[in-house]
Structure formats: C-alpha cells, structure tokens
C-alpha cells in the first residue's frame, strides 16, 4: 500500500468520526423545545382537571339545593318554599358547600317564580379568571302551590 492511499483513507475516516458542534446544538434545541412543550401540556392538563373537579362539585351542589327545596316543601306542604324558609335553605346550603367551592356566591343563588326555581352555582377562582368556567345554572319546578 502506498503512502497516498493510506493518507486518503485516514482523511475519510477522520471526517466520519463524531458530530459537529452545530449538529449537537440543533439536537439540544429540538430536545429543549420538546421538553417545554410537554411541560406546558402537563400544566394545561392539571388546570383542566381542577376545573373538571370544581364543575363536578358544582353539579352536586346544584342537585343538593334541589333536594333541599323538596325537603323544605315536604315540611310545609303543599306550599313551595319561599320567604324565611327559602332563606334558611339557602343559608344552610351555602354554609355546607362553601368549603368545596372557593368564594361560592350566595347572593342570587336561588331565584323563584311561583314554584319554578333557578339555581345558580357560581364561584370565583383566581387561577381561572381569564376563562368563564365558574358558573352553572339549574332549573327545577316543584309540584306545589304558590304561597
């Protein structure tokens, strides 16, 4: 083997070894972008999970209010709850559910027209102030007489 052939083979092998600094930087940049994206998705997932929890609690609270209205009506048949009886129901409901829903709105929680009730379960959560996720409205009709 001549000296020229050995010299050419050495150059070819030298070019094939390892990665250039630019290739490494591009690979690190791609990996960093991927990690940031995965982290952002994880935070969004946690936020959505918490909103789902709060909405589930609000649904149960709304159903609880409807049940309380039926119980109040059963204690004073056949009149639908109104006045002080309705205020007492709202007060006890609010006291029980405020621990599960931060800043549960008591004012305007129940609006009544005859025996038709509109229950608004509204709460405030500073983490979601840019989204409208903190109010659910339920309607129910009780079969009774208007006092």
pLDDT in tens, 50-61: 889 999 999 999
Model confidence over 98-112: pLDDT tens digits? 999 888 999 999 999
Q: What is the dihedral of CA 89, 93, 95, 97, to 10 degrees?
A: 180
Of residues 51, 60, 62, the one with CA closest to residue 120: 62
Q: Are 126 and 55 in contact (CB under 8 A)?
A: no
Q: Are 145 and 78 in contact (CB under 8 A)?
A: yes
Q: Supply the pLDDT for residue 28.
A: 97
Q: Are 88 and 96 in contact (CB under 8 A)?
A: no
Q: How many helices (H) and strands (E) does the chain have?
A: 3, 3
Q: Percent of the chain at pLDDT above 70?
A: 88
Write the Ramachandran bin of 98: left for phi over 0, alpha for psi from -120 to 50, otherwise beta. Answer: alpha
Q: Supply the pLDDT for residue 147.
A: 82
- Name the pLDDT band for 9 (thresholds 50, 70, 90): low
Q: Are 89 and 69 in contact (CB under 8 A)?
A: yes
In sequence order, which ranges of 17-139 are alpha helices (DSSP H)?
Answer: 21-75, 83-97
Tokens, residue 111: 């609006």
Strand, coil or helix: what is 121? Answer: strand
Q: Where in the chain are the domains? A: 3-141
Q: Are 144 and 73 in contact (CB under 8 A)?
A: yes
Whether the pTM exceeds 0.85: the reply is no
């Amino acid at each position: 083997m001549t000296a020229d052939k050995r010299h050419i083979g050495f150059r070819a092998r030298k070019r094939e070894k390892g990665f250039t600094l630019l290739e490494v930087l591009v690979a690190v940049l791609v990996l960093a972008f991927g990690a940031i994206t995965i982290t952002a998705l994880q935070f969004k997932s946690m936020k959505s999970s918490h909103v789902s929890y709060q909405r589930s609690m609000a649904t149960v609270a709304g159903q609880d209010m409807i049940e309380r209205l039926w119980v109040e009506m059963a204690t004073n048949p056949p009149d639908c709850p109104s006045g002080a009886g309705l205020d007492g129901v709202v007060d006890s409901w609010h006291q029980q559910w405020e621990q599960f829903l931060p800043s549960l709105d008591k004012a305007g929680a129940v609006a009544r027209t005859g025996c038709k009730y509109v229950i608004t379960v509204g709460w405030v959560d500073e983490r979601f102030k840019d989204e409208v996720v903190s109010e659910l409205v339920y309607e129910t009709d009780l079969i009774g007489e208007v006092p």
